[in-house]
Chains A and B, each alone.
Chain A
């Protein structure tokens, strides 16, 4: 059973456009929702995270929108740049474990 569902699997966006990645979860016990960015051959790096008592968090060009009632959250990358091309994982945490989504491969066209 997949606890964190992520879509789309891959995404192509023009430079300067907005990249949007969506995630949904089932377990209401999750208490922290991080997003990770992973470049090929590297480990994931924490990009931005949100707690369920907040509806939106913005850091630079990256924004998380969180809908607790719908159990959905999304990552928006504004003014997307070729350097943003990577795989993005949404995640949810419970106790001491991180449950990752399946990932979205984002490609920004120059």
Chain B
């Protein structure tokens, strides 16, 4: 099956620093990648959708200057949380699709803790 690798699995950083999370499709070309945020015991909330080579589309209420998304190749997308603050602490999950966008393969997630 399609494999999506997400790195790192866990990161702890100081307030004010920036953190980069990588999402890679290992065995398929991902034309579209998605970034989600999940708070404890809650559902996944879509943050943004990115297509290879073009700017990401952000959901309402998501600050694009805060959460920088780059999708430079068909196998890699990155999410950078800039000037992280404790309220940015959350579980971030990426997913990728290769064609039918309603079929998404998810990464294992990244637990971000901002001190």
- A contacts, CB < 8 Å to B: 31-32, 34, 36, 41-46, 49, 89, 93, 95-98, 100-103, 105
Out of A31, A95, A100, which one reaches B44, CB within 8 Å? A100
Q: A43-B6, A43-B93 are in contact. Are A103 and B102 (CB under 8 A)?
A: no
Size category of the binding interface on chain B: 20 to 34
Instruction: Check B108 against A42 for contact (C-beta < 8 Å).
Output: yes
The complex places the Cα of A8 from the Cα of B31 at a distance, in Å, of: 35
Is B74 part of the binding interface, using a Cβ–Cβ cutoff of 8 Å?
Answer: no
Instruction: Check A93 against B106 for contact (C-beta < 8 Å).
Output: no
Most-contacted residue by chain B among A32, A95, A96, A100 (CB, 10 A): A96
The complex places the Cα of A43 from the Cα of B43 at a distance, in Å, of: 11
Q: A97-B46, A98-B46 are in contact. Are A41 and B111 (CB under 8 A)?
A: yes
The complex places the Cα of A74 from the Cα of B109 at a distance, in Å, of: 26
- B contacts, CB < 8 Å to A: 4, 6, 32, 34, 41-44, 46, 49, 93, 95, 97, 101-109, 111
Q: A89-B44, A102-B42 are in contact. Are A46 and B101 (CB under 8 A)?
A: no
Give the shortest distance, in Å, between A16 (CB) and chain B (any CB).
27
Instruction: Check B109 against A98 for contact (C-beta < 8 Å).
Output: no
Taking A42-B108, A44-B106 as known contacts, 17 extra A-B pairs with beta carbons closer than 8 A to each other, sorted by chain A number, are A32-B102, A34-B102, A36-B106, A41-B108, A42-B109, A43-B6, A46-B103, A49-B103, A93-B101, A96-B32, A96-B102, A97-B49, A98-B44, A98-B104, A100-B44, A103-B43, A105-B41
Most-contacted residue by chain B among A95, A97, A102 (CB, 10 A): A97
